[in-house]
Amino acid sequence: MPHDEPDAHFETRAIHVGQAADSATGAVITPIYQTSTYVQEAVGVHKGYEYSRTDNPTRTALQTALASLEEGAWALSYASGLAASQNLTYLLCPGDHVLLSDDAYGGTYRLIAKVVANYGIGFSLVDMTDLDAVRAALRPETRLVWAETPTNPYLKIVDIAGVASVLQGHGARMVVDNTFASPYCQHPLALGADFVLHSTTKYLGGHSDVVGGALIGNDESVYETLKFHQNAAGAVPGPMDCWLTLRGIKTLAVRMERHSANAQAVAEFLLSNPAVERVFYPGLESHAGHEVAARQMPGGYSGMVSFTVKGGYEAAARIVSSTRLFQLAESLGGVESLIEHPGKMTHASVAGTGAEVEDSLVRLSVGIEHIDDLLADLEQALAAVQAPALAGRASRHG
Q: Which of 276, 332, 366, 382 binds ligand P1T (CB under 6 A)?
A: 332
By CB under 6 A, tell whether 199 contacts ligand P1T: yes
Q: What would the x/- binding string for ligand P1T be over residues 108 to 147, using CB under 6 A?
A: x---------------------------------------
Strand order in the sheet with 195-199: 74-78, 213-217, 195-199, 173-177, 142-148, 97-101, 122-126
Tell me the closest approach of the beta carbon of residue 39 to ligand P1T, in angstroms: 33
Core vs surface per residue 372-389: b (16+ CB within 10 A) or e: eebbebbeebbeebbeee
Closest CA to 146 of 119, 132, 167: 167
Q: Which of 102, 177, 241, 377 binds ligand P1T (CB under 6 A)?
A: 177
Residue pair 92/143 in contact (Cβ under 8 Å)? The answer is: yes
**CA-CA distance, 255 to 266, in Å (whole number)?**
16
Q: Which of 346, 377, 378, 381 binds ligand P1T (CB under 6 A)?
A: 346
Using the rule CB under 6 A, give the single segment among 74-82, 89-97, 244-252, 304-312 that binds ligand P1T.
74-82
Residue pair 78/237 in contact (Cβ under 8 Å)? The answer is: yes
Tell me the closest approach of the beta carbon of residue 288 to ligand P1T, in angstroms: 19
Q: Is 292 exposed, middle or buried (0-12, 13-18, 19+ CB in 10 A)?
A: buried
| Helix boundaries (H) for the chain | 10-16, 57-69, 81-89, 106-110, 131-137, 160-167, 182-185, 220-233, 239-250, 252-271, 290-296, 312-320, 371-397
Which residues 141-160 are close enough to bind ligand P1T by CB under 6 A?
148, 152
Report which residue's Cβ sits closest to ligand P1T: 81
CA distances, 225 to each of 94, 117, 172, 212, 343 (Å) = 17, 21, 17, 20, 37
Q: Are strands 304-309 and 276-280 parallel, antiparallel or unpaired?
A: antiparallel
**CA-CA distance, 344 to 366, in Å (whole number)?**
20
Using the rule CB under 6 A, give the single segment among 50-58, 158-166, 176-184, 227-235 that binds ligand P1T.
176-184
Using the rule CB under 6 A, give the single segment among 15-23, 257-265, 315-323, 325-333 that binds ligand P1T.
325-333
Q: Which of 71, 330, 336, 369 binds ligand P1T (CB under 6 A)?
A: 330
Using the rule CB under 6 A, give the single segment among 49-57, 113-121, 324-332, 373-381 that binds ligand P1T.
324-332
By CB under 6 A, tell whether 102 contacts ligand P1T: no
For residues 138 and 364, which CB has a smaller minimum distance to ligand P1T in the complex?
Answer: 364
Catalytic status, residue 324 = no
Catalytic status, residue 202 = yes
Q: Which residues are catalytic?
A: 53, 105, 177, 202
Where along the sequence are the contacts to ligand P1T (CB under 6 A)? 80-82, 105, 107-108, 148, 152, 177, 179-180, 199, 201, 211, 213, 330-332, 346
